[in-house]
Amino acid sequence: MTLAEVIHKTSGRLEAAGLEDSLWQTKVLVAHVVALQPGQLHLQNNLSFDHTLQEKLSALVEKRISGIPLQHVIGEWDFYGRTFKVDRRALIPRPETELLVEFITTAELPPRPLIMDVGTGSGIIGISLALEIPGSRVTGTDISTAAIELAQENKLLLNAENFSTVNCNLAEEPDKQFDVIVANLPYIPSEEISGLHPEVKDHDPLRALDGGTRGTLLILELIKSAPGKLKSGGLIVLETGYDQEDAVPAFFPEDLWADIRTHKDMAGNHRMVTARRR
C-alpha cells in the first residue's frame, strides 16, 4: 500500500469510530510511524507502506479507537516549538498555555532571572522558559513524584541544563526568592470533574484537574504564599479558568500587589492573571 492509500483507509476507520478530525488525527499517527512531520506527508504520497509499518500503525489506531488520547498514543506532543514526552503522569500540553510562556519571555525581567514553575507537571512551561530566556535558572515544583520524574525526562530530552525540579507542595520549597512565579494549577471545580470528556477525566491525573469546590483552592493558596517567595517587583503569572476573570484578581491584596491584570487567549476567552509584587 502507498502512504496515500493508508491515510485514506485509516481516516475512514477513525471516522467510523466516531472520532472528530479523523483525517488530521490519521496524519498525526501516520507521521509518527514514518518519522515525519504531518505537513510533510503530502510530499510522500507514493511512499511504500510495508507490512511492518502497517502493523505498527494498526496498533496505534486500536489504542486511539479505545479512547486513549492521541497525545498518549504517540507518547509526545509539541509545545512552544518543542516536542515533549507526554503520558498519564501529567496534563497533556494545551496550546492555550503557551500564552504564559509568551507573556514571560516578553516581560521586563532582570538579567539571569530566577523563575519558579509551580505544579510543573511534565515541565512544559518551566523547560520552555529555561530554553527561551538565556541565563535564567528555572525551578519546577510538583507534589507528584511521578510528574517530577516526567519533567526530569523532558529536561534530559531537551537538554535544559538550567531547569531543576523539587518535589514539594506548591511553593513550599526551595527557601529563596524568585523574580517570577508561574503556575498552571488545577482550576476545575470538583463537581464538574465527572462531566469532563472521558479522554480528560480518565487519562489526565485527577490531582492536576481538581481545583476544589470553586476551582480556586490551590490558586488562592499559592497567592497567599507568593509574597514571601517573590522579590520586590517580582512577577506572578497564573493560568486560570475561563470563568475566574473576576474571582482570581480579587485574591490579590492591593497593599501587596500592583499591576493586577487579566488576559484573554487567541479565542477571546479569559485565560490568565498577572501581577507584580510591590
What integer pLDDT is reported at residue 49 of this predicted model? 82
Task: Please report the sign of the dihedral spanned by the C-alpha atoms of residue 13, residue 17, residue 18, residue 22.
Answer: negative
* Mean pLDDT of all residues in 223-246: 96
Which grid coordinates belong to 36?
Answer: 515525519
* Mean pLDDT of all residues in 252-271: 95
For the domain covering 87-277, report its CATH number.
Answer: 3.40.50.150
What integer pLDDT is reported at residue 165 of this predicted model? 97
d(CA 13, CA 198): 20
Taking the mean position of all CA atoms in its chain, how far away is CA 270?
17
**What is the pTM for the complete model shown?**
0.94
Provide the b/e sequence for 158-171 (b: ≥16 CB within 10 Å). bebebbbbeeeebb
Percent of the chain's residues with pLDDT above 70: 100
Pick the CATH number of 3-66 from 2.60.40, 3.30.70, 1.10.8, 1.10.3470: 1.10.8
Pairing of strands 257-264, 270-277: antiparallel
130-171 confidence digits (pLDDT tens): 999 999 999 999 999 999 999 999 999 999 999 999 999 999
Binned at pLDDT 50, 70 and 90, residue 260 comes out as very high
Domain ranges for the chain: 3-66, 87-277
Q: 3-16 and 22-34 helices cross at what angle (nearest 10)?
A: 130
174-189 confidence digits (pLDDT tens): 788 999 999 999 999 9
d(CA 203, CA 180): 30
Tell which wins on pLDDT, 47 or 87.
Answer: 87
64-92 confidence digits (pLDDT tens): 999 999 999 999 999 999 999 999 999 99
Phi, psi of 116 (to 5 degrees): -115, 125
Binned at pLDDT 50, 70 and 90, residue 50 comes out as confident
> Taking all residues of the chain, what is their mean pLDDT, rounded to a whole number?
94
d(CA 236, CA 173): 16
* Mean pLDDT of all residues in 232-249: 96
